[in-house]
A and B are shown apart, each in its own frame.
Chain A
Amino acid sequence: MLDFGYSRPDLEGEVLRQLSHSDSMAIAGGTELLNWIRLGIAAPAFLVDLAGLPDRSNIALNGEWLEIGAACTLNMVGEHPAVREHAASLASACLQAASAQVRNRATLGGNVLQRTRCSYFRVEEPAPGPCNKRSPGSGCAALSGANEQHAIFGWTPDCVAVQPSDPLVALTCLDAEVEIADHSGHRWMPVAGLHLTQQEAAADGGDPARLETRLAADELIRGYRIPAVTGRRSTYVKVRERVSYAYALVSAAASVRQLEGGDNEVRIVLGSVAQRPWRLLTAEHGLQGQELTTQNVAAAVERAMAGARPLSTNRYKLRLARGVAVRAVLEAAQR
């Protein structure tokens, strides 16, 4: 593996100062970063270990918010009673991710920053085929190649990758906010605004293949907060080619809450259909005042999927997404 320096500061200010050097990267669980270094996706000269920062592994209900520190591992989040009660979708998503061993190291702060599993991207350098993420301007092999795992929304001809994180989909569905520290202080932003599709990156004037999140290289995720909404029931449904230990083909996070007067408030977010979680707003509006039956939910989701742009080998995702969204909503409604 590439040679690099290493430090483990115990003050956030020192971490940020070291990260301000362009050849430094932060390491938390290391379950993505070490593989990036092995493949040549990243080549930092210096790693700043975040494990020295205190108080980043707390999970607590604090008034109207469920607060989760960025250093919490996926197993910690998935098995915590407060998360199971107030953010069931997130607990489920965490425990359906990866393996027990990976979940004992992967952190919630790092997990949302993982990158695509596209097989043209995840190769040892030098990449044998075109990949605009690995080599700007080289092209996108997946666009007309093996794109079964790739996007049906938000892609451009430069890149058709999806964001594979399970917890990210649940956090989006639950209206979570993420706290980001930078050199001038810290700020909260909706998790839903953290990631960009390729189209959104291009609209922002960025490289559609390489601008993936709004987190700058010298910024740090401190933690999350999720509104503790009374009566909200949520689920996470993950469809994979095998029973366990695989990335999603398509997934869905859903929440249902009964409002005063008996109407249901529904949230549906799809995973692995775009380079960010894909909220089905049109379906949610379409279901207002409606009974949550298979027929009604399927019809609403079908209309919301009308703008999908499947690739040459991933048309199956349209039907799978409909099925997964319906299942997630109905399971949430029955909790």
Chain B
Amino acid sequence: MIGQTGAENGASSHVVTTRFALNGEQQQSAAAARTTVLDWLRESAGLTGTKKGCNEGACGSCTVLVDGRRMNSCLILLAQVDGADLTTVEGLADSDGTLHPVQQAFIDHDSFQCGYCTPGQIISAVACISEGHTGSAEEVREWMSGNLCRCAAYPQITAAVLTAAHPINPEA
């Protein structure tokens, strides 16, 4: 059994050690069981690109990739990513600073105003593209609907996702 904390049920020590990869680097962290991936990223790892918007899985600003699948990090306990491969927005660009094609497309299409939803949008878009849910603007809107933008940059976000998904023919 993995991760048994303290004595059974209601014990005083609830620290769990979790081993996982984060943006390609191995991590080992001892944290309170109640620590979410979101809180660990922002408070322990200092990676504040991932945002806390609603903290209830509704806004998508906390979206990260776990084994390539997009999820709301506010709804995952750190203990639950033991053995997994995490990607945050900080891990998208190349080591030489070259932006990920999705990041570049967001700039090219003016796809953000305040920028708060943007890291979540970008991570979500990376997965949306790898899932193959970018066949049309309608499909992109449906499959990106878990990322809210109060600045209403949705048309530009949709255009950026389509461009990044279909770089030779952006109208496809």
Chain A residues in the interface with B (C-beta under 8 A): 1-11, 14, 18, 21, 23-24, 27, 29-31, 34-35, 38, 45-47, 49, 51-52, 98-102, 104-105, 243-245
Contact = CB atoms under 8 A, between A and B. Distances in A.
Interface in B1-28: 1-6, 8-11, 14, 16
B69 interface: yes
A24 B33 CA distance: 14
B77 A2 contact: no
A23 B14 CA distance: 15
B3 A49 contact: yes
Contact of A101 (B10, B63, B80, B142): B63
Interface of B: 1-6, 8-11, 14, 16, 32-34, 36, 55-57, 60, 63, 66, 69-72, 74-77, 79-80, 82, 124, 127-128, 131, 133, 141-147
A98 B124 CA distance: 15
B142 A244 contact: yes
Contacts of B80: 27, 30, 49, 51
Which residue, A31, A51, A99, has most C-beta atoms of chain B within 10 A? A99
A3 B71 CA distance: 23
B10 A7 contact: no
Contact of B77 (A6, A14, A21, A45): A6
B141 to A, nearest CB: 8
B60 A99 contact: yes
Given A35-B56, A38-B56, A100-B146, A6 B5 contact: yes
Contacts of A99: 60, 145-147
Which residue, A24, A38, A105, has most C-beta atoms of chain B within 10 A? A105
Contacts of B145: 99-100, 243-245
A38 B16 CA distance: 20
B5 A7 contact: yes
9 contacts: A5-B33, A7-B5, A34-B77, A46-B9, A99-B145, A100-B144, A102-B57, A104-B71, A244-B141
B146 A245 contact: yes
Contacts of B69: 104
B143 to A, nearest CB: 6
Which residue, B32, B63, B72, has most C-beta atoms of chain A within 10 A? B72
Contacts of B1: 7-11, 14, 52
Contacts of A9: 1
B75 A34 contact: yes
A5 B147 CA distance: 31
B161 to A, nearest CB: 12
Contact of B14 (A3, A21, A29, A100): A3
A105 B56 contact: no
Nearest to B34: A1
B78 to A, nearest CB: 10
- A-B pairs, 9 with minimum CB distance: A99-B146, A6-B33, A244-B145, A45-B10, A245-B145, A5-B5, A1-B34, A46-B9, A8-B2
Given A6-B3, A18-B9, 19 more contacts: A3-B33, A4-B14, A6-B5, A6-B16, A6-B33, A6-B79, A7-B1, A7-B2, A8-B79, A9-B1, A18-B8, A23-B9, A34-B74, A45-B9, A49-B80, A100-B131, A101-B57, A101-B60, A243-B141
A21 B10 CA distance: 10
B53 to A, nearest CB: 12
